[in-house]
Amino acid sequence: MNNKFPRAAALALVCATTFCFASQAQAGVHGYRGAHGGHFGATYGDGSGGVTHVRGTRVHGARGTAGHASKTTYGSDGSITHNGGTNITGANGGSFTGRNSYTRNPDGSSQRSDTASGTNANGGTYNHSGDWSRGSDGSVSGSSQTTASGARGTFDASSSASGGTFDHDTTATNAAGDTYTGESSYTKGQGWTHSGTCTDSQGNVISCGH
């Protein structure tokens, strides 16, 4: 979680009380190295002490296009809501899409979620998703999953947390069929444990330095 959010909220509220949040917007178009881009930004208040920032950027050129947009609202009660997204498309056929959201509640608890996916010109793929929460008492819970595949092999990792424990599992297989399987676990008050095994394409156990 981003521990800078409370400070940002405070700054935004100071801005609101001094009327510097009065509706304003900025936009521009630029060109550089054969690419062209534009951006937009605005900050406005809701009339009750809340402040919202919106931003958007788009760039396009011979190598592809990219765009990003976000909206963040700082409530007068200390709450924060953020949503953002990114899209990239390369001229060679690769692409990436990402989304994220964050909410901080007045009691200090928060939630965060994010997704990302992409492909490269050679057919490789990447996918990620995660949902995490922090309680007002500082406890963390949630899970995430990441997978990737391509000419060099595959990768699969998952993480989860609940009740003072954190678990992370990883499986990676290279192009030759050798596979690494690892498990890591953390328990509050006890520390970390880890185990890992490597096998060849026939399932025989081999040295992980092989």
Mean pLDDT (the chain) is 85
Extents of the domains making up the chain: 5-151
CA dist 138 to 21, 27, 109, 192, Å?
32, 40, 8, 20
- Residues 158, 171 contacting (CB under 8 angstroms): no
- pTM attached to this predicted model: 0.77
Residue carrying structure tokens 């424990």: 165
- Residues 150, 124 contacting (CB under 8 angstroms): yes
pLDDT-derived band at 10, boundaries 50, 70, 90: very low
Summarize pLDDT for 93-108 with one digit per residue, the tens.
899 999 999 999 999 9
Distance CA(180)–CA(185), nearest Å, equals 17
User: Who wins on pLDDT, 23 or 98?
Assistant: 98
> Which of 179, 112, 101, 104 lies closest to 143, judged by CA?
112
Tokens matching residue 64? 């592809």
Mean pLDDT computed over 55-74 = 94
